[in-house]
Amino acid sequence: MADPIDDLDRWLRGDFVRINTALEEAYFAERIDVISGRPEIDALKRELLQQGGPLMDRLAAMTLPVDPNAGYRLLGLIGHYLAACERHESPLSDREGGRQAAWAVSTKIGNALGVVPRFVFAHQSLFNEAVGGRYRTFTALPDEEIFIRYNALGVLAYYRAAEALRAIANIGVSSVVAAYLFDQAEAALNDVLRFNQDLARQLNVERFFFNIRPYFKTYRVGDTDYRGANAGDFSAINEIDVTLGLCSMNDPFYAAIVREKSHHVPPDDLGVLRSLAKRRSIAEMFKADQDANGATPQWKTNAAKFLAICKAHGAAYAFHHQRLVKAYVEAPSKTASSAHSAGVTSSGPPLDEVMGMLKRLMELRTARPNLNVP
């Protein structure tokens, strides 16, 4: 008998995509984010549950993978199904659609790995292997593929910048060798901006709002509602903020954001987030080195590079705020109809609150550190 995990993966790449796409096209034709109580649409939702339910039940009967990566991958596969059930507001009781089996397996994996027992964005961006060149998507809509592609590229570029900056702690800010790392970090952050711009050029606002965003909503696992997935659930952006000295874990506003996201990030990122409270920032290193040794020519060269990095970080994040969040979520939410019972944000709080939090983060990230460069 075929492996239940392989069967689930095959289904997620086949009929699951067909059903979701058919539902999305029906919603899009009416520019609404969900339709309920219409026979042909309810029949598609029933098909989703009738096919997905037995696959979940089979998972509950098997021995779960011991390897952490395999477990994390399985959590994402199950989460794709649960997220789709939630997105379509499928009319089902706790006993239907294999939900109890899906919850039991997700809870076991979540507890073992110290992560929330649900699908998070990393399952789509970083733990999503391509088969024949195609990674898992909820639908066959080109906009969804574009959304995942540029999000994943942006996240990878943030990791690259974080890694370059991390290495500077052991080299010192006035080293000629550090100059190479500063250049690497700046190039990576320029890539983030470029990927965000490519995303904004290619992603249709209405398609995102009606057909993509709703898959990232809050869903329930057992007795608990777990907040939705968002593309910010990875450690690198916070590592960059703190390492540059733009944000600090001593700031209660910022520390609360990092704490809140910590169980939504991939398992390896948790250690990085925990280490942030002890990080010495590069801005502090520049000041200490200048106080002790004066501003040597290499100190000045590297300080200019550091300021260029801060500028690139601010520019990429300001673009996210102005051209992605405002254009794809805030603006359409004022004019488009939403039939969903949950709000339009992925985290749950009202949009105004989320916008206020994101604006404050933008202000921190676009601030220019004062290095007193002579």
* Minimum distance, C-beta of residue 306 to ligand HEM, in the bound complex (Å): 21
Pick the closer one to ligand HEM by CB: 159 or 299: 159
Q: What angle do CA 262, 268, 274 make, to 5 degrees?
A: 45
Q: Cα separation of 24 and 283, whole Å? A: 48
* Minimum distance, C-beta of residue 228 to ligand HEM, in the bound complex (Å): 7
* Minimum distance, C-beta of residue 142 to ligand HEM, in the bound complex (Å): 14
Is 63 strand, coil or helix? coil
- Rule CB under 6 A: which residues touch ligand HEM? 150-151, 154-155, 158, 196, 199, 203, 208, 230-232, 237, 320, 324-325, 328-329, 345-347, 354, 358, 361
Token pair of 326 as six digits: 């405002």
Q: For the chain, how are helix, strand and coil distributed in percent, rounded to 5?
A: 70, 0, 30
Helices (H) and strands (E) in the chain, counts: 16, 2
Pick the closer one to ligand HEM by CB: 22 or 336: 336
* Minimum distance, C-beta of residue 116 to ligand HEM, in the bound complex (Å): 14
Q: Cα separation of 10 and 23, whole Å? A: 20
Pick the closer one to ligand HEM by CB: 16 or 328: 328
At residue 92, what are phi and psi to the nearest 5 degrees? -145, 145
* Minimum distance, C-beta of residue 272 to ligand HEM, in the bound complex (Å): 14
Question: What dihedral angle (degrees, nearest 10) is formed by the CA atoms of 328, 330, 335, 336?
Answer: 50
* Minimum distance, C-beta of residue 258 to ligand HEM, in the bound complex (Å): 9
Q: Cα separation of 114 and 270, whole Å? A: 9
Pick the closer one to ligand HEM by CB: 295 or 364: 364
Pick the closer one to ligand HEM by CB: 56 or 329: 329
Q: Cβ neighbours of residue 111 under 8 Å, at least 6 residues apart?
A: 117
Pick the closer one to ligand HEM by CB: 215 or 286: 215
Pick the closer one to ligand HEM by CB: 121 or 182: 121
The beta strands (E) that lie in the chain are given as 219-221, 224-226
Pick the closer one to ligand HEM by CB: 11 or 317: 317
Q: Are 262 and 235 in contact (CB under 8 A)?
A: no
* Minimum distance, C-beta of residue 120 to ligand HEM, in the bound complex (Å): 12
* Minimum distance, C-beta of residue 158 to ligand HEM, in the bound complex (Å): 6
Nearest residue to ligand HEM by CB is 232
Pick the closer one to ligand HEM by CB: 22 or 205: 205
* Minimum distance, C-beta of residue 279 to ligand HEM, in the bound complex (Å): 17
Burial of 372 (0-12, 13-18, 19+ CB in 10 A): exposed
Q: How far is CA 278 from CA 154, 200, 235, 271, 363, in A?
A: 26, 36, 15, 12, 23
- Concatenating the DSSP letter of every residue in 104-166 gives HHHHHHHHHHTS-SS--HHHHHTS---BTTB---SS--HHHHHHHHHHHHHHHHHHHHHHHHH
